[in-house]
């Protein structure tokens, strides 16, 4: 059996290679044992999947195992976004949820995301317990007939969309959007946001063009449902052709977002998170804290300092932001009030009153609200923010290295982290997750091995846009040397 290893956001593997029905049943049995250990009287779990190849069949296989172990299972009747699974766990007071998704990864991948009763991503302690159980020779996989399970009231097929759609409307100023008459194009990227983001935009009177609604297990010409700049060229063309105000997109399981401004500029998640933090404090009077992962922009810190908001820095992985939001970890005590927003530079965001999981649908709607309320482009509002709080520019580069190069870099960072890189003196090294080198002028460079794919990520940030290219070149030399 292939080694089952959970990364920052679940277990992912290539379909028919390591991601097989046999392995899915093993993991499902380990999860069944886990939820039963937490609730021996009547454990319950929701199961869903994205639009990838065989997602619904993998979901049924997991359900067969859960029901055989006496776990009441709510099986989604169609592909379902990860934030909807999270919302339903909390709404129904379930013991957990399983979503079959590889998120933004290429089409040949499939994955399992497990969320415990909190509704947020499973912590490393939980996923490690599932990994150990999956490897145990004593694990015995049980399966049940789904018709018999339904007859015995252990299985219920549900449509979780309506409760979620209704709740999202309470988190976004739909009246302001309707009054503004802002018009948007949206690219579903053949993912689970169909029937969610497009429906909400239509209800707000904002949707002028919708693309990528049909299910395509190959995810179109790109092969990957990632809402990044390279994959949203068609969205930009549509916006410009129809002279629309905004372009919105979500990834395969709708937990990440992509935002295009009126002139076709791709707004990085770093910029969008900072914009929404500014907006929530300015328009709603929110006070409290903002949580960001270690490699996420310090523009959030500058906005927070300007507005009197506390910032908490976490390791990479939304599970840690979820802990801050839920106040479950005493390492993250808030001194200034309640949670306002949590975000990651990879495109994850949640806000006060919502689930402790990233939600690309909500992020898109809040970006639209920022435009509608301010009646200006996002770039114009961002310029106002930088003028008031101080400018910060950032970039991220991905490098696919050979295993020996990865090992060499890992050893260099662990044994002899540099005191100078490319002539820039390192004044501080943050090792909360990866290595973040802060230089004398407060610009910084971060190096981190991806937890979901064989990639080295390089992060660079400075208060001057002209320095970014230099930092990127220095960083590339360092990573590849």
How far does the chain reach from its first CA to its final CA, in angstroms?
36
Q: Please give the share of the chain, as a percent, with pLDDT higher than 90.
A: 91
CB under 8 Å to 221, separation ≥6 — which residues?
Answer: none
Instruction: Output the pTM of the full model.
Output: 0.94
Q: How far apart are CA 277 and CA 332, in angstroms?
A: 19
* pLDDT score recorded for residue 329: 46
Q: How far apart are CA 305 and CA 392, in angstroms?
A: 14
Question: Of the candidates 183, 176, 228, which has an alpha carbon nearest to the alpha carbon of residue 210?
Answer: 183
More confident residue, 327 or 31: 31
Q: Where are the beta strands (DSSP E) in 404-479?
A: 420-421, 424-430, 435-439, 444-449, 456-462
Q: How far apart are CA 112 and CA 20, in angstroms?
A: 12
- Beta bridge partners, 97, equal 46, 115
Please say whether the beta carbons of 73 and 59 come within 8 A: no
* pLDDT score recorded for residue 331: 47
Backbone angles phi, psi at 115, to 5 degrees: -120, 130
Please say whether the beta carbons of 60 and 98 come within 8 A: no
Q: Is residue 332's pLDDT more than 80?
A: no
> Over the stretch 164-203, which tens digit does the pLDDT of each residue have?
999 999 999 999 999 999 999 999 999 999 999 999 999 9
Residue in the block written with tokens 């013991």: 95
CB under 8 Å to 264, separation ≥6 — which residues?
Answer: 236, 239, 240, 247
Please say whether the beta carbons of 101 and 256 come within 8 A: no
- Beta bridge partners, 426, equal 439
Q: How far apart are CA 360 and CA 364, in angstroms?
A: 6
| Mean pLDDT of the residues in the chain | 94
Lowest mean per-residue pLDDT among 140-154, 353-367, 396-410, 412-426? 396-410
* pLDDT score recorded for residue 337: 60
> Which domains, and CATH codes, for the chain?
6-159 (3.40.120.10), 161-391 (3.40.120.10), 393-480 (3.30.310.50)
> Over the stretch 415-469, which tens digit does the pLDDT of each residue have?
999 999 999 999 999 999 999 999 999 999 999 987 666 789 999 999 999 999 9
> Over the stretch 214-238, which tens digit does the pLDDT of each residue have?
999 999 989 999 999 999 999 999 9
For residues 31-58, average pLDDT: 97
Report residue 3's pLDDT band, with 50, 70 and 90 as the boundaries: confident
β-bridge pairing 72-76 and 155-158: parallel
Report residue 399's pLDDT band, with 50, 70 and 90 as the boundaries: very high
Q: What's the angle, vertex CA 213, arms to CA 208 and CA 217, rounded to 5?
A: 155
More confident residue, 14 or 7: 14
* pLDDT score recorded for residue 330: 40
* pLDDT score recorded for residue 2: 66
- Quote the tokens at residue 95: 């013991």
Q: Where does residue 423 fall: left (phi above 0), alpha (psi -120 to 50 degrees), or beta otherwise?
A: left
Report helix, strand or coil for 250: strand
> Over the stretch 239-281, which tens digit does the pLDDT of each residue have?
999 999 999 999 999 999 999 999 999 999 999 999 999 999 9
CB under 8 Å to 46, separation ≥6 — which residues?
Answer: 73, 74, 75, 76, 85, 88, 89, 92, 94, 96, 97, 98, 158, 160
């Amino acid at each position: 059996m292939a080694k089952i290893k959970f990364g920052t956001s679940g277990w992912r593997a290539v379909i028919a290679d390591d991601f097989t029905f046999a392995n899915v049943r093993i993991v499902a049995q380990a999860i069944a044992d886990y939820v039963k250990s937490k609730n021996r009287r009547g454990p319950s779990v929701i199961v869903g999947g994205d639009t990838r190849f065989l997602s619904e069949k993998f979901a049924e296989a997991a359900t067969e195992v859960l029901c055989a172990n006496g776990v009441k299972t709510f099986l989604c009747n169609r592909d379902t976004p990860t934030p909807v699974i999270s919302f339903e766990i909390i709404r129904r007071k379930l013991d957990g949820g399983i979503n079959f998704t590889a998120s933004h990864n290429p089409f040949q991948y499939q994955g399992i995301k497990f969320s415990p009763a909190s509704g947020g991503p499973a912590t490393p302690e939980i996923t490690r317990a599932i990994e150990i159980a999956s490897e145990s020779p004593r694990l015995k996989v049980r399966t049940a007939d789904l018709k018999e399970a339904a007859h015995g009231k252990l299985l219920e097929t549900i449509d979780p969309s309506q409760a979620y759609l209704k709740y999202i409307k309470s988190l976004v100023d739909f009246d302001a959007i309707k009054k503004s008459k802002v018009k948007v194009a949206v690219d579903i990227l053949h993912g689970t946001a169909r029937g969610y983001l497009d429906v909400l935009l239509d209800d707000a009177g904002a949707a002028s063009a919708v693309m990528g609604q049909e299910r395509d297990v190959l995810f179109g010409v790109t092969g990957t449902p990632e809402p990044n700049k390279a994959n949203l060229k068609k969205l930009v063309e549509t916006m410009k052709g129809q002279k629309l105000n905004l372009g919105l997109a979500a990834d395969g399981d709708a937990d990440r977002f992509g935002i295009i401004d009126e002139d076709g500029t791709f707004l990085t998640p770093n910029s969008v998170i900072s914009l929404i933090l500014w907006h929530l404090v300015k328009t709603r009077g929110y006070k409290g804290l903002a949580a960001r992962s270690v490699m996420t922009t310090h523009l959030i810190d500058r906005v927070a300092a300007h507005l009197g908001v506390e910032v908490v820095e976490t390791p990479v992985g939304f599970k840690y932001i979820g802990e801050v939001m839920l106040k479950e970890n005493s390492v993250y005590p808030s001194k200034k009030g309640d949670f306002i927003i949590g975000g990651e530079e990879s495109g994850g965001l949640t806000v006060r009153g919502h689930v402790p999981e990233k939600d690309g649908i909500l992020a898109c709607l809040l970006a639209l609200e920022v435009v509608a309320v301010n009646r200006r482009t996002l770039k114009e509002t961002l310029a106002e923010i930088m003028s008031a709080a101080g400018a910060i520019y950032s970039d991220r580069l991905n490098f696919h290295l050979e295993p020996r190069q990865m090992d060499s870099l890992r050893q260099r960072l662990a044994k002899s982290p540099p005191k100078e890189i490319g002539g820039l003196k390192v004044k501080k090294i943050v090792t909360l997750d990866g290595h973040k080198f802060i230089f004398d002028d407060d610009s910084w460079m971060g190096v981190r091995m991806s937890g979901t794919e064989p990639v080295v990520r390089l992060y660079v940030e400075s208060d001057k846009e002209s320095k970014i290219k230099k930092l990127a070149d220095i960083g590339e030399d360092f990573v590849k040397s």
